[in-house]
Amino acid sequence: MDSFALETVKDEKMKRNIVFIVLFIGLISWSCSKIESPRGLKKAIEANVSDINTAIIKISQTNGYKLLSSGGDLTKSDDEFSDSINLNLVAGIYDYQPDSIWNNYHFHPYKLFKKTGTSDKMIVNLPERMVFHPKYLYNNKPSDSVLTNNFTISASDYHLYYNWWKNLDYKLAADLTLDSEDAGSLDISAVTNSYNSQSYSSNYTFTEGYNISVEHQTGDTTVSSFTLSEDDDILLKEAVIFIWKDYHKKEKQYILTIGNVDIRRVKGVDSIEVYLDGVLQQEAAAYITDDADASGSICHKRDILLTFDDGTTAKVSEMIDPAISALRTLVDSLHNMYFARNIVDYIALSIYYFNQ
């Protein structure tokens, strides 16, 4: 064999050896990664809680949070309304231009809004102070007329059907802007036939890609839940089911989802189960405590003590702190449909009465 052929053979052997070594190293690295990649329950909880706290911190800096957390500034009367309003009756573009003439024939003594254009939506421009501090909306002053109408409510869907028998059929879908910048969107649906037959869902989408929704349904079985998500990923979800027995609510099922971790208490199962990625954690334990509260929510006095497989413990209330306080504010506001009832409905009723 000549020297050229010999060198060629050596090159081919060297190439095969290099390929083998690369494949071997790759196989070892892949095997190690497969062994090290699964996170234990404790690390998974810590990472998920960090995502929740980051989400609440970002949300609390938005105008959406400022809007939903301003419910304590109310001075509106408790006058009841019994009529039917749909979007066609209040459609148009309206600017806050209060009329100082007192009108004794209307639910609203003063005309607050002037129609300035046509639209198939209800578009209302008003000063941000009226939204963030509703007492100025209910008790307007002459000086308010010079304020800039820099907050816009654009409702693409709206109806309010209500009567003295407490029957309610309600819908609101609205985009919100402040100084022409997106402030989030709100979507609410509610149906009430009696005290024991209610169903509603309330959802707010924030500008940071986060979303909070609540759902509630009563009847023979009461179902209540809230969900904090980022885009399509659930960061935190709580769902509780009650059944009525001897005129008292009795908890049938409770599930708290923290990212890829589920904490479950189900009727018929003695212990509280903890799942990671759908797999029951045999060594983990959980204990639910309630402090004289029947709502069954971590937003209201419920706490959960977790015991990990290394023997360490942690309370949910301490892990989600101080974010739990802001979360409570948001969930309560959406449960009470505060912004819809006390801002949008008040405006729609004012427009409706003075359009008659």
Q: Where are the domains of the chain?
A: 79-219+337-356, 232-321
Q: Which of 162-171, 262-271, 318-327 has the highest mean pLDDT?
A: 318-327
pLDDT value for 213? 97
pLDDT value for 170? 94
Instruction: Specify the higher pLDDT residue, 68 or 101.
Output: 68
Q: Is the pLDDT of residue 70 over 50?
A: yes
Q: Is the pLDDT of residue 89 over 90?
A: yes
For range 121-142, the mean pLDDT: 90
Q: What is the pLDDT of residues 34-66, one digit of tens each?
A: 333 346 999 999 999 999 999 999 999 999 999
pLDDT value for 249? 77
SS3 of 38, please? coil
**278 DSSP assignment:** T
| pLDDT > 70 fraction of the chain, expressed in percent and rounded | 79
Q: Is the pLDDT of residue 121 over 80?
A: yes
pLDDT value for 5? 45
* CA triple 205-233-269, angle to 5 deg: 115
Distance CA 259, CA 321 (A): 17
pLDDT value for 229? 97
pLDDT value for 220? 82
Pairing of strands 151-162, 84-86: antiparallel
Q: Is the pLDDT of residue 293 over 80?
A: no
Pairing of strands 233-245, 151-162: unpaired
Q: What is the pLDDT of residues 239-290, one digit of tens each?
A: 999 887 776 778 899 999 999 999 999 876 778 999 999 999 998 999 998 8
Q: Is the pLDDT of residue 6 over 50?
A: no
For range 311-328, the mean pLDDT: 92
pLDDT value for 136? 87
| CA-based nearest residue to 223, from 245, 259, 267, 255 | 255
pLDDT value for 36? 33
pLDDT value for 219? 82
Lowest mean pLDDT among 31-35, 175-179, 181-185, 225-229: 31-35
pLDDT value for 333? 93
Half-sphere exposure of 117 (CA within 13 A, CB side): 10
CB 41 within 8 A of CB 309: yes
For range 89-103, the mean pLDDT: 86
Q: Which helix (H) or strand (E) holds 331?
A: helix 323-335
Amino acid of residue 64: G
CB 247 within 8 A of CB 231: no
Q: Is the pLDDT of residue 324 over 60?
A: yes
pLDDT value for 158? 97
Q: Is the pLDDT of residue 295 over 90?
A: no
Using 50, 70 and 90 to split pLDDT, how confident is the model at 2? Answer: low
pLDDT value for 23? 39
pLDDT value for 140? 76
